[in-house]
Amino acid sequence: MAGNLLVGQSGGPTAVINASLAGVVQMALSSSQIAGVYGAVHGLLGVLNEDLVDLRQEGEQTLALLRTTPGAALGTSRLKLKAGHYKRLLDVFQAHDIRYFAYIGGNDSMDTAHQVGRLARDRGYELHVLGIPKTVDNDLAHTDHCPGYGSAARFVATTVRDTGLDSWAGALSTPVKIVEIMGRHAGWLAAAAALAREGIPDGAPHLIYLPEHPITVESFVSDVERAYKRYGYVVVALSEGVRDPSGAFVCTATATQDAFGHRQLGGASAILAQEVRNRLGLKARFEKPDTMQRSSAALASSVDRAEALLVGQAAVHAMLAGASDKMVTLEREPGPAYRCGTGLVELSAVAGVEKLMPAAFLAADGHDVTAAFLEYARPLIGEPLPAVAILRRQPVVRRLPACAAPK
């Protein structure tokens, strides 16, 4: 079917979301079935405002640089479609003869793409809709992993590794550090901190807490106390969405919500750091990399970037073959070497479903992950983290009597 293609980006940007955009544009420009290649500025909000741009007018160098550019080049939004939006949406599609619609986003975006496809069918308007996965939370169902996760995981592993070395050096002044990592309901990203330990004996993080395994303040403080006695300092990787046994967030929740009803979380690390200070008398601080976790192009995974490009290309290929109301998936191939291809899944099977960490990835003690998770996550961050030096610190024989400890 001849017609124009429209691509949009939605939700939180990632370090590789523009690689998926580049894949869509590249494939669309090479197709004789697609005449115009348009971008929606700020997702469906741009469609409603008829704020579209002609991506055919972008130069080859610009399109090539998209693959390594962080953020969302078209701009995103978190618009939740309402009844009054539907007619306007299809009117814009018809006015510009949009017959192919690719939407790059996470869970809520896949639901939105599904609604758009159903709307077009109800009106009898032929429109091929494909969802392209994107989320650092890695919580989309029916895909081995999500573009964006590998790069954010590499950032988390690198940051926790480096701040762990910093904490070890300054353990005498600040012995406890809590790093708060994104993840409202699923702990995939905080779990990636475990990759920081590789090559560093007894390295950080010493404790990992995920939403899938409830904790109490008492058990947390007790864990920190034991780790401090063992290592002399403690670095904690803490998911922002960690919960207590009743299911309530340990963190405070603000009064604000996004368009999809998600409360904006924050404060878990601050609360728990204060509890450590109060109950153990240890100086504790907290760190919140926040949006830096998802936006760091400098620490992007080469594997993640290549797969983000791949799913964009696969989406256009599938639409041209007649597919619609599907999301592109990443399918890990069996075998010792990491290889990954693509597949398709119904959008209805993805919309509204969150993929949590499976029990096989959660350590029984409640504050770590298993070797199975490390095997899963290790190839997604690309090349191994740069090696660091661990001094032997061979002691020199003391020649003087011991002095009083400095105060």
Q: Give 323-351 pLDDT, tens digit per residue.
A: 999 999 999 999 999 999 999 999 999 99
Closest C-alpha to 104, from 328, 379, 275, 389: 328
Domain boundaries, the chain: 3-147+298-350, 149-296+356-381
pTM to 2 decimal places = 0.93
Intrachain domains 3-147+298-350 and 149-296+356-381 with the same fold: yes
Q: State yes or no: pLDDT of 81 exceeds 90.
A: no
**Residue partners of 92: CB distance under 8 A and separation at least 6:** 47, 48, 50, 52, 98
**Architecture of the structural domain at 149-296+356-381:** 3-Layer(aba) Sandwich (3.40)
Q: What is the pLDDT of residue 255?
A: 41
In angstroms, the CA 205 to CA 163 distance is 9
Give pLDDT, residue 253.
46
pLDDT at position 206 over 60: yes
Nearest to 240 by CA among 363, 156, 353: 156
Give catalytic residue positions: 137
Model confidence at 213: pLDDT above 60: yes
* Residue 263 reports pLDDT greater than 90: no
Q: How confident is the model at residue 317, as a pLDDT?
A: 98
Quick check: 254 pLDDT over 50?
A: no
Q: Which of 3.40.50.720, 3.40.50.450, 3.20.20.70, 3.30.420.40 is the CATH number of 3-147+298-350?
A: 3.40.50.450
Confidence of residue 252 (pLDDT cuts 50, 70, 90): low
